[in-house]
Amino acid sequence: MEQINSYLRRLPTWVVYLGGAIPAALLLYGAFFGGLGPDPVKGLERPLGEWGLRFLIASLAVTPLLRVGLRLLKFRRALGLLGFFYILAHFMVWIGLDMGLLWTQIAQDLVKRPYIIVGFAGFLMLLPLAITSNDGVIRRMGGRAWRRLHKLAYPAILAGAVHFLMIGKVYTTEALIYLGLVGVLLVVRLIPQRKRQLQTA
């Protein structure tokens, strides 16, 4: 494990951003050259959201992996931001290409369709996290306030997994795996913290 950590310490963060951009580049290539199937909008919209969820789950896994000796803390911000930008792109494709900027219909869907309500709630929770994910804001907020705000990541990622599960008319194995991963990571992340708080009290 120490060898892996030694390699990770030398790996620059921009490599994560570069690697994270590859799925978006492939999707854009497919959009321009007809590789997204018979419904290119859905072929673009759904994978963008799914990649966003994957990166967010990866960011959530950083702390549990630290407990087994794998040090990925320097990449957590990059993973979280990649997740946010994919979710943002997913949202923009939905309102722009899928809904055609028909704001009345968009507003109706936002209040009538449960899976859209859940997904939009998760997106709104991610917004302040993305806005405050730079060193200058962290210094102005103070570490304690910043960490308290960024606990919104937990319900936001859970909302994303539930949104993905609810999209299909039937529950797919893939969607259940994502939800299960989020559930396990949240339990591992939060329960030991709760125990420490009780011991301190």
Which burial class, exposed, middle or buried, applies to 74 when counting CB atoms under 10 A from its CB (0-12, 13-18, 19+)?
Answer: middle
What total number of domains does the chain contain?
1
pLDDT at 124: 96
Residue 201: CB atoms within 10 A of its CB come to 5
**Would you give the DSSP letter of residue 80?**
H
Predicted TM-score (pTM) of this structure:
0.90
Distance CA 52, CA 58 (A): 10
pLDDT at 171: 82
CB 47 within 8 A of CB 27: yes
pLDDT at 54: 97
**Tokens 């962290």 appear where?**
138
pLDDT at 201: 42
What parts of the chain have a pLDDT lower than 70? 192-201
Supply φ then ψ for residue 36, to 5 degrees.
-110, 15
Range of the domain at 15: 2-200
pLDDT at 192: 59
Distance CA 159, CA 36 (A): 26
